[in-house]
Structure formats: C-alpha cells, structure tokens
Structure 1
Amino acid sequence: MGNENFIPELTPIQLSTETNWLSVIAGRSENTFVLRNDGTLWGIGANQYGQLGVGSAIVGQSTFSQIGNATWKHISSTAHTFGIRTNGTLWGWGQNDGRQMGSAVTCCSNVLSPVQINPDTDWKQVEASHVRNGIAIKENGTLWGWGTNGGMLGDSGVSTINNPTQLWPGNDWEYISVGANHLLGLKTNGELWTFGGNANGQAGTGFNQFIARRLGEEFWMYVSAGFQSSYAIKSDGTLWAWGRNDQSQLGDGTTTQRNAPVQIGTDSNWVAVAGGTFHAVALKSDGSLWAWGNNQFGQYGNGTTTTSPTPLYIPVEGCTLSISDFQQIPVVIAPNPAKETTTLYFKNTLEKVSLKVYDFAGRILLNQEAEGIKEYQLNTSDYAIGVYIVEVKNNGKLVGSYRLVKE
C-alpha cells in the first residue's frame, strides 16, 4: 500500500494524489499494479521473485515504479506476472521455475523484466495461477495454456507445457478466472465451464477434472475464482458460491464445504463479485459494496476486524463505486444455438433499449424498442437455419453486437 509501517489498514486509504489512474490490479503475492490513462504500467509492493518487472529483485518497493516504456491493456499476477500490451502481444516476468515464461528464457531463474512469451498479436486476456502456469484467451475466443500442468492444462499426461498451446476446442470462450488450481470459464452464450482441482469442491462437479465440463444447465454473467472457492452471478442477477468454506468465505452463513453451487441470499441485483483467499466482496446494481468471510486484516474496509458469515453492507466514504467496468458479459443470449425462441438477458436493467437482428446479408429482421427491461424473449421460429447478428443499444449507445445461431 506504499506505507512502510506494515500495519493493516482497516479503512480505505489514498495511495496516490495523482488523478491519471485508469485501473488497479491486486496481485496475489503482496503486490499491486496500476494502469494509467496513457496505458503505462506501474507497480508497488513485494518483489521477491521479480514479479514487479522493474529490473531487480529488491524486496518491498514502497513507491510506484514504472514497468518498462510500453503501453498495456491487461495484467495478472501471483509470484509471476503476465501482461498483454495494447498491440496484443503477450509478456511475462517474475518466478520462472515451471516454464511460466514459455521458451522465452531458460528455465528456471526468476525473470526481472518483461519478456515476450509468444509472437502472436491477438491475445485478449491472460491469468496467472498459483500453480506456476498461465491460461489465456485470444481475440478469436480460443483458450490457451502453458507452464506446469497439475490438471489445469488438460489430460495429455505432459507435466510441463513449454509454450502456449490450445487447451480445448471451440472459439466461444469469453472470460476466465483462475483460483489456486482451478479455473472458471464463461462462454459467449453464458455457459459456465470448470476444470482443475476439486479437493474442496471448488470445481462444483464432485470430482477432480482434467477436462473442461459445463457446470449445470444455467446461464451466467459473472464469475470469480477464489483461492479454493468459486463465485458466480446468474443471468437473473442472483449470487451463487461453492467450494471451501472453513472461514465462511462462501457467504451462506455456514462453514460447510459446498460441492455444488448454493445461492447466497435471495437478492437478484448483484452485478460483480470478487473472491479472495478466505473472503469475498461483491457489488449490487445500486453501487453498494458488500463483504463476507475472513476480516482479520481489515479486508472489509469498514474500520473493524469483525467477520460476517453472510454479505455485510460496507459503507464507502470518499469514493464512488461504478458498476460499468465490471461487466464480463453484459448481454447473454440463451439458448444459443436457438430453435423456436431464445432469451436476451441484460446484466443491468436497460433504460431505453433498442434491439436489431440482422441476417448475414445485412437485412433487418427485427427492430424493437423497449424501456426498463432486464430480459427480452426473441421469437426465432420464422428464422431460417443460419447465423445472425443481434445489436443491442441503450439510450442510443451501443452495448454490443452478438452472434446468434439458429438450428
């Protein structure tokens, strides 16, 4: 946090008086990264493996240091760090004892400055795991992995994958979240898939998985993998959790391990959730912040170290929380492929929505406006078999264009 007294902060403190910061990324090995508006990357905190990427392994950087001169769009960090530059290239630094850097450098010394892992220029998201590997999505929706294989990189039997290798077939991966040794993956149609370790029920399927499996038949908008627990928000805005629960980190009021998703409360206005090691925080659509689980270091930020086994409202003074940056899939179309009908689920209630459906010849098949809706049922019974584009606007601003398949 930039202060050298190493005393936990029980309420939010300002880390910088500058006003050109864009986003913050909390690393899982006592480090923090921040992107500025100009795309430059800055880091602070622990650096015992060189995971800050500042060219040295000096432990305890107490001021923000710039990491190289490039511009970046995505960062993920544990004891090793991965980043995607604005030109779409993939880079890494920090601990390298399991081929985390691919073949870019010789295993297994720590890497103190960013090295390019792969020459491709179409990387979209990358996540660093605790078990010495990386998993990433390309812009074309394919899923890739490399590094140490403890079950997160497939069932090939290979213990180490030296370079990014496509893990599973398909080009519909939208977002991934990595825990200690398991992964949650959202597909573009709102399906949730999991794989990896499951000793504490965190995969939600009842057994360890070396292949990706869909979790249930529901559709989801948001996922977050905690250390050995999992959190997700369904398309109806309800909050669910499963996995390790010895410190009430699931928020269901118990300390019982859950091997399958359980609903947390009854509210249906959740929009984002983030799982920590033994606690979690979440946002509702009104911008309110909630926390539960372990609070011994002041993780809640409410001035206490008192824990709560269920979501507790956390008043935040001096700053406004925005939900606009927390959208993983703002619109889910399910089922997709569709037969007679399909439903558009909107992450947030749209004030004035405009829906258009185009065929691949550019003809408009639907031009519909509505106000104050959270979902819309689309009749596809008269559509010919093929691929369509669904365009969604809110108050005249484009939310997104989505691919719809009619069977």
Structure 2
Amino acid sequence: MEEEVMEAEAAGSVGSGEVNPPVRRVLLVSAGASHSVALLSGNIVCSWGRGEDGQLGLGDAEDRSTPTRLSALDDLGIVSIICGADHTAAYSESRAELYSWGWGDFGRLGHGNSSDVFTPQPIKALQGLRIKQIACGDSHCLAVTMDGEVQSWGRNQNGQLGLGTTEDSLLPQKMHAFQGMRIKMVAAGAEHTAAVTEDGELYGWGWGRYGNLGLGDRNDRLFPVKVSAVYGEKMVMVACGWRHTISVSASGGLYTFGWSKYGQLGHGDFEDHLVPHKLEALSGSFISQISGGWRHTMALTSDGKLYGWGWNKFGQVGVGDNIDHCSPVQVKFPHDQKVVQVSCGWRHTLAVTERNNVFSWGRGTNGQLGHGECVDRNLATIVEALSVEGSSGQQIQASKVDQSSGT
C-alpha cells in the first residue's frame, strides 16, 4: 500500500512487439488491503484477490485466486500500477492518462463522485499531465508530475491531502504548499502522507497521533511540515505503513518513525518514535527499496536481500512463523535468488526476484496470494502463474467478463 516507487521501467516493455514473447518479465507488483496487481512486459496488467468493491477492474465483484489479465487496459501503454487499500490506479505514459477503479468512497478515485467503479476509468482532471509517481493510501491518493508538482484527492479528515483543510476532495487538487519546490516522491498511509523533495528534504502531514509525521509531537498537520530531525542526512525515498513511516537516506541508511505496537519500526522494541530513528540493525546494508504494510515493514538491500519485521499474525513477514518481530529478519527464497522488488499489502506481501519469479506470503483468505487457493502462508511461496520457474510456466487467466460496463 505504500507507496512504493512507481517509476516503472518503461524499457521493460521493449518485448511488446515480439510475436508470442517467450517470457513476460514482471516489472512491478503492488499489494492492497486484500488484492494484488502486477505489471508485465508488453504493458500487460493482471489482478487477483478480493474483488467486492471492483478493485480488480474486471467488471464484476468476484474474488480471483489466480492472476487474471485485466484486458480493459490492453493496448493503453500502462507503465505503472499501484494498489490503495480497496482501489487501484494505473498510468499510461503514451496517453498521459491516469486510470482508477474500485471503492469510491470519499472521492479516492478522483472522478468527482463517491461511486464504486468496476473497470478502469480515466481521471479526467489529470488528463494530459505527465506523471512520474503515484501513491495510494487507505482512502486518499497523490500523483507527482514530471515537473515535481503534486496533486492530491480523496479522504481528508486529518488534512492528509495537504491542502490546508479537512474537507474531502472528489477531484485532484494541486498542492500549492510545495510551490517553488520539486517533489521527488510521495507516500500515503492510512491518514497521513509524506514526501521527499529533489533536494533531499523530508515532509510530513495529516494524522500524527503516533508521531508518524516525524515532527516530534503527536499533532495533526493540514499542510506539509519539514522534518528536521534527520541528522543532516538527505532523504531519497519514503514509504508509509498504516500509521508508521519509513525513509531512506542518500547513503542507504534506513529510518523509521511512528507507531510501533507490533514492532513495525524494527528497533528491537515496541516503542513509538516521534522523530526519524535510524535502524541500526541494518546499518551495514545499503537499502534500495522499502514498503510499509498495515503493521509490518519490508526493506530490500542493494545486494538483493529482503528483510521484514512487525505484525506477523498471518505470516506476512515471511519468515516461517506467526509471531511479531520487532527487529529485521531475512526472508529466504529458493536458491538464494535475489529480490528486485517488494510490496506490502495490509496483511500480505509480494516480491519479484531477478530470476523473473513472483513470490507471495501472508493472508490469503481472498486469494490475494495468487496461488489458486485461499490459505495463509508464512514463507515466500512462488506464484506459479507469473513465474518463469513455476511448474506450469506463465499461465495468466484471461478475463471472461464484459468490460464495457463501467460503474
């Protein structure tokens, strides 16, 4: 749900002109509350898991327990995709169009109303904008343009849109608080938001009860406020969990702050931190990617090792047990294959390895793990349908639904 960096390698779609390409590389995965999506080379999108609110984009409210091709997005040139809790967004670079679908409460889809949408619909207010990154939280979204400007929309009861009000916004609005600054990336939690500027400054706003804004107190903020307590480090990456925040410095150091009832900050205890606190357990590693779940956290190192910690009731940390971990534990993969991308959902986790395999673990009750069954897993388990080394090779289900019905 994090925010994850959504700058998809557009270069990954070079194989799209081939006839029957032998292998579709998985370029991106993203996990929501109970659903999952993947972007494959050739601009192919598939989704699986809970479908009750239309978040799979397949035109109905059915769950899917294996990856299913979202054919409504075929030929649109999708280069990035991300899950909110119960909604999804995807961006077409060639069309300069952002699509959204799923649960529409509070205007989180950006279509000017609160209706649920069961197939991808373009956000008209963003038509023509060149977008480099999207962040979806529980019920609000943000988009960063190539010019470093930010648009935000959806729920705003704690000021998480950064617009200076607590009124929800059914349509995207430009954040004027960042006038004159270039934003590198944003991250959205349940009710808070964080951003990193191109200059390496970290900002937080929205709901701050657990210190998750990093500002040294527990107050809400209606506008972005600069986080000063980062020990002179420039920040290059940020992610949000439900009520905690994770950032990475230019030197590869990992910082966490906010709520830690389940050990999701990783500092060896269950204490909240109101300002960014360096994760000493991983100080010997260069962190290349981060993701925040509902109450768990994942960090990927530059040498392809994946570490998890936090709430683990459903095995979402992926280390073979169901006990909470307050310090980082390495997630193991067959043949020690290196990980290239990770995404935390609320209670499940997805990862892509350098060998073009997708793995999932954690809560599986809605089929969000993609294994064709609805059971939980506490170890990284290969998603056969998306993996080169799956026993059946890549076998993505075709969507069998009439895509013409919109809402």
* 317 and 180 in structure 1: CA distance in 2 versus 1, 3 angstrom threshold: closer
Residue 218 (structure 1) aligned with residue 284 (structure 2): yes
Residues 195-242 of structure 1: per-residue CA shift (max 9 Å, x gap) = 111000000111210011111122222221111011112343222111
Aligned position for 1:239: 306
Contact 1:140 1:171 in 2 (8 A): no
Length, aligned pairs only: 317
User: Shift of residue 289 of structure 1?
Assistant: 0.9
User: Shift of residue 268 of structure 1?
Assistant: 5.5
C-alpha distance in 2 between matches for 1:43 and 1:309: 31
* 136 and 320 in structure 1: CA distance in 2 versus 1, 3 angstrom threshold: farther
C-alpha distance in 2 between matches for 1:103 and 1:23: 26
Q: Which amino acid aligns with 2:295?
A: Q
C-alpha distance in 1 between matches for 2:331 and 2:233: 32
Contact 2:80 2:91 in 1 (8 A): yes
C-alpha distance in 2 between matches for 1:271 and 1:103: 35
- Which residue among 328, 338, 356 is the counterpart of 1:269? 338
- What RMSD in Å do the two structures reach over aligned CA positions? 2.2
Give the alignment of 1:116-155 within 5 angstroms.
116-117=174-175, 118=177, 119-130=179-190, 132-150=191-209, 151-155=211-215
Residue 167 (structure 1) aligned with residue 227 (structure 2): yes
Contact 1:43 1:67 in 2 (8 A): no
**Would you tell me which structure has more strand in proportion to its own residues?**
1
Residue 255 (structure 1) aligned with residue 322 (structure 2): yes
* 36 and 256 in structure 1: CA distance in 2 versus 1, 3 angstrom threshold: same
Aligned position for 1:228: 295
RCO comparison, higher one (Cα < 8 Å, 6+): 2
Aligned position for 1:77: 136
Residue 3 (structure 1) aligned with residue 72 (structure 2): no
Q: Which amino acid aligns with 2:284?
A: E
User: Shift of residue 318 of structure 1?
Assistant: 9.4
Following TM superposition, where does structure 1 have runs of at least 4 consecutive aligned residues deviating by more than 4 angstroms?
Answer: 317-321
Contact 2:151 2:172 in 1 (8 A): yes
Aligned position for 2:99: 42
Uncovered stretches (5+) of structure 1, i.e. residues with no partner: 322-407
Uncovered stretches (5+) of structure 2, i.e. residues with no partner: 1-55, 391-407
**Would you tell me which structure has more helix in proportion to its own residues?**
2
Give the alignment of 1:173-212 within 5 angstroms.
173-205=235-267, 206=269, 207-212=271-276
C-alpha distance in 2 between matches for 1:226 and 1:272: 15
Residues 231-261 of structure 1: per-residue CA shift (max 9 Å, x gap) = 1123432221111111111111111111111
C-alpha distance in 2 between matches for 1:162 and 1:190: 30
User: Shift of residue 60 of structure 1?
Assistant: 3.3
Aligned position for 1:59: 116
Residues 304-361 of structure 1: per-residue CA shift (max 9 Å, x gap) = 223322111122359999xxxxxxxxxxxxxxxxxxxxxxxxxxxxxxxxxxxxxxxx
Compute the TM-score of the two structures, normalised by the length of structure 2.
0.73
Aligned position for 2:32: none
C-alpha distance in 2 between matches for 1:181 and 1:110: 20
C-alpha distance in 1 between matches for 2:376 and 2:207: 36
C-alpha distance in 1 between matches for 2:389 and 2:149: 33
User: Shift of residue 271 of structure 1?
Assistant: 2.0
* 48 and 311 in structure 1: CA distance in 2 versus 1, 3 angstrom threshold: same
Greater CA drift, 296-305 or 187-196: 296-305
* 258 and 134 in structure 1: CA distance in 2 versus 1, 3 angstrom threshold: same
C-alpha distance in 2 between matches for 1:122 and 1:171: 18
* 250 and 123 in structure 1: CA distance in 2 versus 1, 3 angstrom threshold: same
Look at both structures and tell me which one has the larger radius of gyration over its CA atoms: 1
